[in-house]
């Protein structure tokens, strides 16, 4: 269930009401709700709070600073993702089936590709849309289409892509899944929305798409989803399995 949306002041009331309707929740300025799980809209943007999260800070996506900004500014150093994409004569049309916090999509965009990023979580989709609207760099988002859907339903619409990118959540029992505050928040958002994925099933469905290449990001020691891998690109903690 989507938690209520609390707004900080009357200035945000009307945007909060519109947003709440589009997310499918209620809006209010009841400050006593602030201890409970909620979405929060202020003049500085939209955030999410969960009382049981290890971080006491609200979860808010920000493309203007932090590691995403740093990585996109020096994208020529992203050897692994460049190797996974391989040689191409023209910019690629990439379907990122697991938008998450858009970090990988932003690398693709910084490398000059066109990206359609699909995110199944409504909450995350709205946090991303808000962060995009607040971004100081609107130019990079011109080549991005952000979709709120399950990627397996989305591909049935038949749109053509050169590359499919798939980076499912790591199993929650693994320490790595809770390793960063952001990933913990992501897992909590999916739990709140009662979203559960079967990554193998999703992989099988996505691999039916007629595309040049499918890139799957996996923890370094995880079993591949299929034995039909064409090649792998290894990093320190993760690897890319490439299916052609
Ligand atoms: C590990 S995160 C992806 C992180 C992302 N690559 C990034 O760079 O920020 C996985 C995300 O994909 C989403 N996801 C997983 N399976 C999906 C599917 N079948 N369709 C749409 N979204 C999916 C989850 O909701 C979650 O937000």
Is 216's C-beta closer than 6 angstroms to any atom of ligand 1? no
For ligand 1, atom 11, the nearest C-alpha belongs to 100
Ligand 1 atom with minimal separation from the 199 CA? 16
Measured between alpha carbons, how far is 148 from 150 in angstroms, rounded to an integer? 7
Tens-digit pLDDT profile for the chain (244 aa)? Answer: 899 999 999 999 999 999 999 999 999 998 777 889 999 999 999 999 999 998 888 999 999 987 777 677 777 778 899 999 998 889 999 999 999 999 999 999 999 999 999 999 999 999 999 999 999 999 999 999 999 999 999 998 888 999 999 999 876 554 544 456 888 899 999 999 999 999 999 999 999 988 889 999 999 999 999 999 999 999 999 999 999 9
Phi and psi angles of residue 144, each rounded to the nearest 5 degrees, phi first: -110, 135
Per-residue confidence (pLDDT) for residue 212, from 0 to 100? 86
Pairing of strands 238-243, 213-219: antiparallel
Measured between alpha carbons, how far is 180 from 186 in angstroms, rounded to an integer? 10
pTM: 0.93
Ligand 1 mean position, distance from CA 166 (Å): 8
Question: HSE (CB half, 13 Å, CA atoms) of 34?
Answer: 10
Per-residue confidence (pLDDT) for residue 67, from 0 to 100? 74
Is 42's C-beta closer than 6 angstroms to any atom of ligand 1? no
Per-residue confidence (pLDDT) for residue 174, from 0 to 100? 47
**Euclidean distance between the first and final Cα of the chain, in Å?**
39
For ligand 1, atom 27, the nearest C-alpha belongs to 100
> Which domains does the chain possess?
5-43 (no CATH), 66-243 (3.40.50.150)
Q: DSSP string spanning 83-146?
A: HHH---SS--EEEES--TTSHHHHHHHHTT-EEEEEE--HHHHHHHHHHHHH-S--SGGGGEEE
CA dihedral 51, 57, 62, 64 (to 10 degrees): 180
């Amino acid at each position: 269930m989507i938690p209520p949306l609390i707004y900080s002041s009357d200035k945000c009331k009307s945007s909060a009401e519109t947003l709440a309707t589009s997310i499918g929740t209620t809006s209010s300025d009841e400050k006593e709700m602030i201890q409970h799980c909620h979405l929060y809209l202020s003049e500085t943007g939209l955030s999410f709070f969960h009382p049981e999260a290890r971080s006491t800070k609200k979860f808010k996506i920000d493309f203007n600073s932090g590691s995403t900004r740093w990585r996109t500014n020096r994208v020529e150093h992203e050897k692994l993702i460049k190797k996974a994409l391989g040689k191409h004569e023209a910019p690629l049309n990439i379907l990122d089936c697991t938008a998450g916090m858009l970090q990988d999509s932003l690398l693709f965009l910084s490398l000059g590709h066109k990206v359609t990023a699909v995110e199944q979580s409504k909450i995350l989709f709205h946090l991303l849309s808000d962060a995009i609207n607040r971004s100081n760099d609107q130019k990079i988002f011109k080549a991005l289409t952000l979709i709120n859907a399950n990627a397996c339903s989305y591909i049935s619409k038949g749109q053509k892509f050169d590359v499919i990118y798939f980076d499912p959540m790591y199993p929650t029992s693994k320490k790595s899944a809770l390793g960063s505050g952001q990933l913990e928040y992501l897992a909590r958002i999916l739990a709140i929305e009662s979203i559960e994925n079967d990554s193998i099933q999703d992989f099988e469905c996505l691999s039916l798409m007629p595309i040049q290449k499918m890139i799957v990001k996996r923890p370094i020691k995880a079993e591949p989803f299929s034995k039909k891998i064409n090649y792998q690109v290894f990093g320190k903690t993760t690897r890319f399995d490439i299916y052609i």
